[in-house]
Amino acid sequence: MKTKIREFRKEQKITQEELAAIVDVTRQTINSLEQGKYNPSLELAYKITKALNKDKIEDVFIMD
Amino acid sequence: MKTKIREFRKEQKITQEELAAIVDVTRQTINSLEQGKYNPSLELAYKITKALNKDKIEDVFIMD
DNA sequence: CCAATATGTAAAAAATATATTACATTTAGT
DNA sequence: ACTAAATGTAATATATTTTTTACATATTGG
């Protein structure tokens, strides 16, 4: 599973720490997700999608 | 978070056990999810969405 | 009504996500 | 080049999901 979090986060011009605050997780969680280190919960994936102003979870998280 | 798993599963005329086998989890996991007992992983949510022939995760899982 | 199949539930274990803390490295601005 | 901010990383702790096992209840078909 890959993600476009980093790409979209930069479009929004926010830092990992800011995104983390918005979706209420730690910066390390965002950092790990950007690097595809694991599989988030659905709720977190949803919050991140919203925070990045994307319509669908699938726009941000690309499943293999 | 609510889900339409049960509704869509019945449309497809498959049992909890069959759906569980398709997405490679136990029947108890499907049962619990249908009852909204927790927040699945993104990967599982995705697999279930596909198994139910829906386009988007958001079609199956309704966030509050 | 009987038998088989499907579903609900629950406790404990295992697996995995997320937090915490701390420090190292990289990047950006001046 | 310096400094501050941003990012990478790692170890351990905690929280949550998922499995396992087992049994109870409900539903369906003959």
A8-40 pLDDT, tens per residue?
999 999 999 999 999 999 999 999 999 999 999
Domain count, chain A: 1
Predicted confidence (pLDDT) at residue A64 exceeds the cutoff of 90: no
A12 touches strand D (CB under 7 A): no
Distance CA A18, CA A9 (A): 10
Task: Tell me the pLDDT band of A45, cut-offs 50, 70 and 90.
Answer: very high
Predicted confidence (pLDDT) at residue B64 exceeds the cutoff of 90: no
Which domain covers residue A36, as residue numbers? 2-62
Residue at B53: amino acid letter: N
Residues 6+ apart with CB under 8 A from A32: A38
Q: Which nucleotide is nearest to B37 (CA to C1')?
A: D17
Distance from CA of B34 to the nearest CA of A (A): 15
* CATH number assigned to the domain comprising residue B6: 1.10.260.40
